[in-house]
Amino acid sequence: MVREIVIYGAPVLREKCVKVEQVSREIEELAADMVETMYDAQGVGLAAPQVGEAVQLAVVDIGADRDDVTFVRVDGEDVGLSELMPLIFFDPEVEGGSERESMEEGCLSIPELRASVRRPAAIKASLSLLDGRRIQLECDGLLSRAIQHEVDHLNGILFIDRLSSAAKLRARRELKRMFG
Ligand SMILES: [Zn+2]
């Protein structure tokens, strides 16, 4: 079922989400709905607070063919993107590498606004999956970017919080124009 996407200004987008810990039927349904909602909105990622649920669950699908992703490793083994997408994960812990890069980001909860955000280029992440596994994922490119963006959501952080001060001013003006 496609759920309604919560838009900028909703308090739930600023909440620190609680851990999932135990996969219930409700969590499985929420995850399935989130994947459907993400595809429906043509996004590459969606976090549970974006559909009004303040739990540490997120989904990502960047497609299987991305030149900017130069490596994807699960528990130290190389894997193809097609094996991993859609990636549904909960209770993540993410560590960014020291090299940083700028990439343009948008957010389904902040329609029409896009801006360049500086983040670690590569990450190491511990992610829990619905099948009970806890995996160590290492990757770069858009996959690294999307995971960092979604994990921020689980901590009540939006990409506009991570802009340079000049870009933040521009974004604030835009947001004011759009949301009053
Ligand atoms: Zn977002």
Digit-coded pLDDT (tens) for 122-178: 999 999 999 999 999 999 999 999 999 999 999 999 999 999 999 999 999 999 998
CB 109, CB 7: distance < 8 Å: yes
pLDDT tens-digit readout, 6-22? 999 999 999 999 999 99
Distance of CA 115 from the midpoint of ligand 1 (Å): 12
Distance CA 85, CA 157 (A): 24
What pLDDT is stored for residue 143 in this prediction?
Answer: 98
- Looking at residue 180, its pLDDT comes to 78
User: Residue 160 C-alpha to ligand 1 middle, in angstroms?
Assistant: 10
Q: Read off the pLDDT of residues 74-114 as tens digits, 9 standing for 90 and up.
A: 999 999 999 999 999 999 999 999 999 999 999 999 998 99
Is 179 a residue whose pLDDT tops 90? Answer: no
Question: Ligand 1 centroid to 47 CA: how many Å?
Answer: 7
Q: In what order do the strands lie in the sheet with 122-128?
A: 45-47, 57-60, 87-96, 122-128, 134-140, 72-74, 77-78
* Band of residue 65 on the pLDDT scale cut at 50, 70, 90: confident
Tokens of 32: 């399935």
Residue 159 C-alpha to ligand 1 middle, in angstroms?
7
Report the chain's mean pLDDT, rounded to a whole number: 96
Token pair for residue 81? 């993107």
Residue-by-residue DSSP string for 108-168: TTEEEEEEEEEEESEEEEEEE-TTS-EEEEEEEHHHHHHHHHHHHHHTT--GGGGS-HHHH
For residue 73, report the distance from its CA to the centre of ligand 1, in Å: 24
Report the Cα–Cα distance between both ends of the chain, in Å, rounded: 31
Q: Which residues contact 140 (CB under 8 A, 6 or more apart)?
A: 68, 69, 70, 71, 121, 122, 123
What is the structure's pLDDT at 40? 98
List the one residue out of 139, 26, 20, 17 whose CA is nearest residue 85. 139
As given in the structure block, the two tokens for residue 70 are 């130069």
How high is the pLDDT of residue 5? 98
Interval 46-59 mean pLDDT: 98
Rounded CA separation 82/65 (Å): 8
> Does the pTM exceed 0.95?
yes
**DSSP label at residue 79:** -
Give catalytic status of residue 53 as yes or no.
Answer: no
Given the residues 53, 105, 138, 150, select the one marked as catalytic: 150
pLDDT at 178: 87
Ligand 1 center from residue 134 Cα (angstroms): 24
- pLDDT in the model for residue 82: 94
